[in-house]
Chains A and B, each alone.
Chain A
Amino acid sequence: MSAQPKLKKVFDRPQCLKDVPYHYCPGCHHGVIHRLLAEQIDNFGLRGKTLGAASVGCSVLIYDYFDVDIVEAPHGRAAAVATGLKRARPDSFVFTYQGDGDLAAIGTAEIVHAANRGENITVVFVNNAVFGMTGGQMAPTTLEGQVTTTSPYGRSAAEAGLPIRVTEMLSTLEGTAYAARVAVDNIKNLKKAKAALKRAVTYQQKGWGFSFVEFLSSCPTNWKMTPEEANARVGKEMADYFPLGVYKDVRAN
């Protein structure tokens, strides 16, 4: 009798993600980042008491994918909406999910002041260095020399300045308790991203203050690259200008 050893399912979709296809382009990192966040919501058992604030951008339809309550914020105002959600429902887990065109451009005031007030919320910031949904315009995080539809000769530092490093900027504020920059371009970075997100959720659960996780993401469509090339660019050009790592962790012992 040779009993066939059993196969164990070691990877499956998180419970709080709906079983529907994403509208994202092939190779876009949004899908992975959604899953990582959903895994943490499941991990902490927060599905029933999670409130999200969605941004405007490619992730505007996040409520179609997460099986939690999500409020659609006006462009850039997700951090302000999340402030209200958290203050009205302090027992809830409140997160925002914002792109760089949303958080770093029109929403700069909201994110800076939410961080400075030390609101007990978790912000997931997806930086793909371009305005994705609207057709690939230059964003505040677009790298110098990068060609976009509104910088056809490449971003010029003389005209547009250099890209904003949001994580570094926010980590200088007293109210920010946790700030990290991660990427999901390879398995090593993905493990670190998971750890950073878990830490960020822990911060909110313990009431330790404002937690912020920036993800470097690819945008194959607007970078005019194949998914493979775009994925490689995240690890090289993007990570060169936006160094990965934990910038602030006030409760680290």
Chain B
Amino acid sequence: MSKVEVVSERCKGCGLCVLACPKKNLSLGDEYNAQGYAYVKFSSDGKCTGCSFCAELCPDMALRVYKQEKK
């Protein structure tokens, strides 16, 4: 299953990745990092395709994307 890892300490909670995700797998969370920003949460239910749109548009490179390799 493809997935996105959020580097919570780098996220500034701008929400541009939330707009970018075609599958709506990202949402602004309610937990805060050391800088005081509410960072994004990833929850996929198997819908993430590993397209990397979120990470491409993240200004702070707070996302790492892992794509499922085909069997």
Residue of B nearest to A13 (CB): B61
Q: Judge if A190 is at the interface, Cβ distance under 8 Å.
A: yes
- Is B42 positioned at the interface, with any CB of A under 8 Å from its CB? no
Please report the C-alpha to C-alpha distance between residue A35 and residue B10 in the assembled complex, in whole angstroms. 15
B37: interface (CB < 8 Å)? yes
Mostly, the B contact residues are: loop
Cα(A31)–Cα(B61), bound, Å: 8
Q: With contacts defined as CB atoms under 8 Å apart, how many contacts are there between chain A and chain B in the complex? A: 82
Closest residue of chain B to A34 (Cβ to Cβ) is: B59
User: Looking at chain A, what size class is its interface with the partner chain?
Assistant: 20 to 34
Contact pick for B64, options A6, A9, A17, A27, CB 8 Å:
A9
Central interface residue in B59, B66, B68, by most chain A CB within 10 Å: B59
- Report Cα–Cα, A33/B56, bound state, in Å: 10
Given A21-B60, A30-B59, A31-B59, CB of A10 within 8 Å of CB of B66: yes
Interface 1/0 per residue, A218-252 and B, CB below 8 Å = 00100000111001000000000000000000000
Complex Cα gap A228–B57 (Å): 12
User: Of residues 37 to 71 in B, which have CB atoms within 8 Å of A's CB atoms?
Assistant: 37, 50, 52-53, 55-61, 63-71
Separation of A89 and B49 alpha carbons in the complex (Å): 45
Closest to B22 in A: A187
A7 neighbours in B (Cβ, 8 Å): 2-3, 66-69
Verify A11–B12 contact, CB threshold 8 A.
no
B3 to chain A, nearest CB (A): 7
Q: What is the minimal beta-carbon distance from B44 to any residue of chain A, in angstroms? A: 12
Who on chain A is nearest to B65 by CB?
A11
Chain A residues near B3 (CB-CB < 8 A):
7
Q: Which of A5, A12, A26 neighbours the largest number of chain B CB atoms within 10 Å of its CB?
A: A26
Interface of chain A residues 9 through 40 with chain B (CB within 8 A): 9-13, 17, 21-22, 24-32, 35
In the complex, the answer to whether B69 meets A5 with C-beta atoms within 8 Å is yes
Q: Considering the chains assembled together, what is the distance between the CA atoms of A7 and B53 in angstroms?
A: 17
**Are the C-beta atoms of A8 and B69 separated by less than 8 Å?**
yes
B64–A22 CB distance below 8 A: no
A186 within 8 A of B: yes
Contact A26 B37 (CB under 8 A): yes
For the complex, what is the distance from the CA of A228 to the CA of B28, rounded to whole Å? 13
**For the complex, is A114 an interface residue (Cβ under 8 Å from B)?**
no
Interface centre among A11, A13, A187 (most CB of B within 10 A): A11
| A31 to B71 Cα, complex, angstroms | 35
Complex Cα distance, B35 from A35, in Å, reads 22
Q: A27 and B66 in contact (CB under 8 A), knowing A5-B71, A10-B50, A231-B16?
A: no
Which B residues are in CB contact (< 8 Å) with A228? 15-16, 19
Contacts of B65 in A (CB 8 A): 9-11
